[in-house]
Amino acid sequence: MGKLESDTGVPIEDVSAVRSFNRFFTRRVGVLKPGLLDSPWSLTEVRTLYELRHRPRAEALDLRRELDMDAGQLSRVLTRLERGGLITRSPSPEDGRRQVVELTEEGGRAAEVLDDRANEEVVRLISHLSAAERRRLIEAMCTVRRLFDDPAHTGGGDRAATDAASGSAAAPGGPSLREPGPGDLGWVVERHGALYPAQYGWDSAFEAWVARLVADYAQAPDGPGRRLWIAEAGGRRAGCIACVADDERTARLRLFLVEPEARGRGVGSMLMRECLDFARAAGYRRMVLATYSVLAEARRLYQAAGFRLVSSHEERAFGRDLTAQTWELEL
């Protein structure tokens, strides 16, 4: 037994297998080439352009969190992109100590070209697979992502446990995600039915509406394009979120809830990130959601994730006069 195995309990054979897959995957997707996607930019620079293209407005701090970079590394990347005329930087109007990063017109065109090339590269990689094989591949990728990102497997220190809205990090042994088990769908209905009347004065019509959504989800045939997650914190259910299909290109975010005592602990941003990552892996091109303006805490998470408001109108719903909103995000 080597020192690594004796210290961690992880056999060296398992370590070698993961490293072997990493070498295969990086070679297969071409990230070892000097310029990614036949461009003059590195992998880090291309990923930064991607994040900026899919966020209406990005602060440097948010980019650091999303890309898991230290301040010095990100500063060097942004400096290179700024010198190339692809981005601009300016103080935040809300807080001059924060820096807002935006694509220039040239940067937007470059990011669009890179997105198109990335899509073409994926098509080249998977076009020989049947539809059933592609579903197996996507499900396997989701499994890998879930196991690597689960704080229960990382001691709670993963950056996915950082709340994008509040900036607070979860403690070790903090929130984790799992697929629903027995009793979870009933819990989703019950918690929506209890929390929204208590917090916003909505009537029982809301619980009935949520029950229909959950029943539709439970009765729909299994497929790779839909998923529901349950968040846990401290051994208790702490929240939920679902991704369902509007059409072949559009995913819909539904059933997003975080228990009041779990807010500010990274649960909301973890659920949001998992849902968006799944939608991208499933091949959707955009995600939409319907909400009400009174749900301010959820709205901050939508904005932090890059959603933009596309329409709003007044309506009478659940015993209240409300402002209904539709938000969307290009994936």
232-273 confidence digits (pLDDT tens): 988 889 999 999 999 889 999 999 999 988 887 889 989 999
What is the structure's pLDDT at 329? 94
Note the residue count of the chain: 331
For residue 237, the 8-state DSSP code is E
Domains of the chain by residue range: 33-128, 171-330
Kindly tell me the sign of the dihedral angle through the C-alpha atoms of 57, 252, 163, 281.
Answer: negative
pLDDT tens string 98-135: 888 999 999 999 999 998 888 888 888 888 988 778 87
Q: Determine how many CB atoms are found less than 10 A away from the CB of residue 226.
A: 19
| Structure-block tokens of residue 136 | 């197996």
Q: Read off the pTM.
A: 0.53
Instruction: Please give the CATH topology (third level) of the domain spanning 33-128.
Output: Arc Repressor Mutant, subunit A (1.10.10)
Residue 272, pLDDT score: 93
Q: Rounded to whole angstroms, how far apart are CA atoms 19 and 83?
A: 36
**Whole-number pLDDT of residue 2:** 56
CATH architecture of residue range(s) 171-330: 3-Layer(aba) Sandwich (3.40)
Q: Give the chain's mean pLDDT.
A: 83
* Strands 250-258 and 286-292, sheet pairing: parallel
One-letter amino acid of 92: S
